[in-house]
């Protein structure tokens, strides 16, 4: 995990640029942070704790760090606890080089043993520190920073986005293997980062580095070379994201802002893909997709809940489909028919577990499709096909708008994969058209903020739903526990009586999602009566078509819609429930403890 950032150029304030970049990368990890600048001298400042601790340490200095080249890091600990010593950048013993790293050096122990046997003293518990000592030793041999870096990287096994600066050089060197790294090409400076928002206020012109490529950034310009050192004609592309999109725009938290961005995100997802007049769904990215007899969806966390929804959707279309946790699939891939499509659902496109599952599937000859938010992310580039959900940048660690957009993108996929006899139902097209406006209605009218006041500090919180609402129940519980730190579980409503009902008491609110009047709704109402009989407070999330409100203590209303779009609306209410409880409890909503946005370790 972790975020790395860097810049080179006389046209920018290097220290400020690094700090701004780290602020927008803090979602990737926030237990320590540090920066280094280089030119004639090398300076390093790093601190345990969130970025504020580093900012305070820099403010205590007489002058900003000096030099035209700089690197920065925000950490999510893997090797060694959060501490000043374990914070990046890491230096060699002579304090001549500084290295930042996102990923894991798998052979670090043998490298550390080798270096210690040669008399090197380590200052941290991290895997990264071997890189700085190796780099320092190669520089001692009299080579250039670029050559020393290349020789160092040749010794490493594992996943890494790495960057280094050295005393006496106005240069940043960087490379990647299985961890994201993107260059930003500005007029007066060149940047790099784990993610585009880190330099978006400076430039929208980017170069996505490939695994094994090396970048050299200097005030005079930048070059990319391949593993053999040959120059690469790297393509510069323009990202569509706007710097405004990465700020809080007046909201207290990114999460709340992103919840409120859902109408826009959904419009973007549907734009140009749903032709209401023709009653058709057309997704250009999927034009080249063959027909498949079955589908496996692999994903983690919130994206896994979207995958579960997608599997139900495909099954309802008559397509055999199953969702698997990517981390399980990676080590025990589900049996696959010859004509199976493996779909990786991943907001970031960088989740290590999901990438590993997709690589496993591809290695076994499967066709792969990435359903992702990030253009040119690793998943998008490695898969045979990519379907973009177009939600825009999501900064809050808790996934919100991207879940809604994933559900709708999976509808587009299911429609595309249906049999040739299938025609997109008119009512589905109308429901998709109406959905952004209906989400806006939920946002405008939600009573979640007042309802939750009655339910603070309970022993546990349960979420139940059936069919399309089962993933919503799981997602409601994940969001709740993730940002409130309270115990929350989601269940298929029918499973309650097979065990979880033993936990249900007057102190455990149950959030039940019930829409429509079909069999699933009626059976869920039966389950609501069961918990009501155990004195549990019930909050019904409903479109009011059934009589579930009779058995509920509170109702959170959503507009009537299609069975496939109702989960999006119900989930918005549950996002607001989680948000307002966490807010009342004073939790760190955008950066919940122990978590990070982009989980780039297995």
Nearer to ligand M6R, 551 or 579 (CB): 579
Nearer to ligand M6R, 181 or 538 (CB): 181
Task: Name the E strands within 340-380.
Answer: 340-346, 367-372
User: Is there a catalytic annotation at residue 7?
Assistant: no
Angstrom distance (rounded) from CA 137 to CA 363: 38
Nearer to ligand M6R, 20 or 360 (CB): 360
Nearer to ligand M6R, 169 or 355 (CB): 355
Strands 294-299 vs 340-346: parallel, antiparallel or unpaired: parallel
Q: Which candidate in 257, 479, 481, 597 is catalytic?
A: 597
Angstrom distance (rounded) from CA 71 to CA 22: 10
Q: How far is the CB of 351 from ligand M6R (least distance, A)?
A: 3
Give the DSSP letter of residue 198.
G
The order of strands in the sheet holding 538-542 is: 488-492, 461-465, 510-514, 538-542, 554-557
Q: How far is the CB of 122 from ligand M6R (least distance, A)?
A: 31
Q: How far is the CB of 507 from ligand M6R (least distance, A)?
A: 26
Angstrom distance (rounded) from CA 410 to CA 475: 16
Given the rule CB under 6 A, which residues bind ligand M6R?
300-303, 346-348, 351, 354, 397-399, 482, 598-599
**Tokens describing residue 265:** 């995100």
Q: How far is the CB of 118 from ligand M6R (least distance, A)?
A: 40
Q: Which candidate in 2, 7, 269, 383 is catalytic?
A: 2
Nearer to ligand M6R, 47 or 305 (CB): 305
Q: How far is the CB of 404 from ligand M6R (least distance, A)?
A: 13
Q: How far is the CB of 398 from ligand M6R (least distance, A)?
A: 4
Q: Which residues pair with 281 in a beta bridge?
A: 274
**Tokens describing residue 504:** 């249900």
Q: Which residue has the CB atom at the shortest distance from ligand M6R?
A: 301
Give DSSP secondary structure letters for 528-588.
Answer: HHHHHHTT--EEEEE-SSSSGGGG-SEEEE-----TTTHHHHHHHHHHHHHHHHHHHTT--
User: Is there a catalytic annotation at residue 257?
Assistant: no
CA dist list (Å): 380 to 54, 152, 371, 451, 538:
34, 29, 8, 41, 42
Tokens 């990319």: give the residue. 224
Task: Name the E strands within 443-521.
Answer: 461-465, 488-492, 510-514
Give DSSP secondary structure letters for 36-67.
Answer: EEESSSEEEEEEESSHHHHHHHHHTSSS----
Q: Which residues pair with 34 in a beta bridge?
A: 46, 73
Nearer to ligand M6R, 149 or 208 (CB): 208
Q: How far is the CB of 33 from ligand M6R (least distance, A)?
A: 21
Nearer to ligand M6R, 203 or 347 (CB): 347
**Tokens describing residue 18:** 């690094």
Give the DSSP H or E segment for 325: strand 321-325
Question: For residue 203, what are the contacts with CB-CB under 8 A and spacing of at least 6?
Answer: 184, 185, 186, 187, 191
Give the DSSP letter of residue 287.
T
Active site residues per annotation: 2, 597
């Amino acid at each position: 995990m972790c975020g790395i950032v860097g810049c080179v150029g006389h046209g920018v304030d290097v220290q400020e640029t690094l700090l701004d970049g780290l602020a927008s990368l803090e979602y990737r990890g926030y237990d320590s942070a540090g920066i280094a600048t280089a030119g004639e001298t090398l300076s390093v400042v790093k601190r345990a704790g969130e970025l504020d601790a580093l900012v305070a340490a820099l403010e205590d200095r007489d002058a900003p760090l000096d030099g035209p080249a700089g690197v920065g890091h925000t950490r999510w600990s893997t090797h060694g606890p959060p501490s000043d010593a374990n914070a990046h950048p890491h230096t060699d013993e002579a304090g001549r080089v500084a290295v930042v790293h996102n990923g894991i050096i798998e052979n670090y122990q043998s490298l550390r043993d080798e270096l210690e046997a040669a008399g090197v003293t380590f200052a941290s518990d991290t895997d990264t520190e071997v890189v700085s000592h190796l780099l320092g030793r190669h520089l001692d041999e009299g080579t250039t920073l670029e050559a020393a870096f290349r020789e160092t990287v040749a010794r490493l096994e594992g996943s890494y986005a790495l960057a280094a600066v050295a005393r006496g050089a106005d240069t940043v060197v960087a490379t990647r293997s299985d961890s994201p790294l993107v260059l930003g090409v500005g007029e007066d400076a060149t940047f790099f980062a784990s993610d585009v928002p880190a330099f978006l206020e400076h430039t929208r012109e980017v170069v996505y580095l490939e695994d094994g490529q090396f970048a050299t950034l200097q005030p005079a310009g930048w070059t990319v070379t391949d593993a053999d050192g040959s120059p690469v004609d790297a393509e510069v592309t323009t990202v569509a994201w706007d710097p405004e999109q990465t700020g809080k725009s007046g909201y207290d938290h990114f999460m709340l802002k992103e919840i409120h961005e859902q109408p826009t995100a959904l419009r973007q997802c549907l734009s140009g893909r749903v032709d209401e007049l023709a009653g058709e769904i057309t997704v250009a990215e999927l034009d080249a997709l063959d027909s498949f007899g079955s589908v496996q969806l692999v994903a983690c966390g919130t994206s896994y809940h979207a995958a579960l929804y997608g599997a139900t959707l495909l099954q309802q279309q008559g397509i055999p489909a199953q969702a698997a946790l990517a981390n399980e699939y990676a080590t025990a891939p589900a049996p696959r028919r010859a004509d199976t499509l493996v779909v990786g659902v991943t907001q970031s496109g960088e989740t290590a577990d999901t990438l590993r599952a997709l690589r496993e599937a591809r290695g076994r000859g499967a066709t792969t499709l990435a359903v992702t938010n990030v253009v040119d992310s690793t998943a998008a580039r490695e898969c045979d096909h990519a379907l973009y959900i177009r939600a825009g940048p999501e900064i809050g660690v808790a996934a919100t708008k991207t879940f809604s957009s994933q559900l709708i993108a999976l509808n587009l996929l299911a429609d595309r994969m249906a049999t040739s006899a299938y025609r997109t139902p008119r009512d589905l097209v109308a429901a998709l058209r109406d959905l952004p406006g209906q989400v806006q209605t939920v946002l405008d009218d939600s009573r979640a903020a007042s309802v939750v006041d009655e339910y603070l500090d309970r022993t546990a919180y349960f979420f139940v739903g059936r069919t399309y609402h089962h993933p919503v129940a799981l997602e409601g519980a994940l969001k709740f526990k993730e940002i409130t730190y309270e115990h929350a579980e989601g269940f298929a409503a029918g499973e309650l009586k097979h065990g979880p009902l033993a936990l249900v008491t007057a102190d455990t609110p149950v959030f039940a999602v019930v829409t429509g009047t079909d069999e699933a709704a009626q059976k869920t109402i039966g389950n609501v009566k069961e918990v009501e009989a155990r004195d549990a407070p019930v909050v019904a999330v409903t479109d009011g078509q059934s009589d579930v409100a009779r058995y509920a203590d509170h109702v959170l209303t959503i507009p009537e819609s299609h069975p496939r779009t109702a989960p999006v609306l119900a989930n918005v209410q549950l996002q607001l429930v989680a948000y307002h409880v966490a807010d009342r409890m004073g939790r760190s909503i955008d950066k919940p403890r122990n978590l990070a946005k982009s989980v780039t370790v297995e």
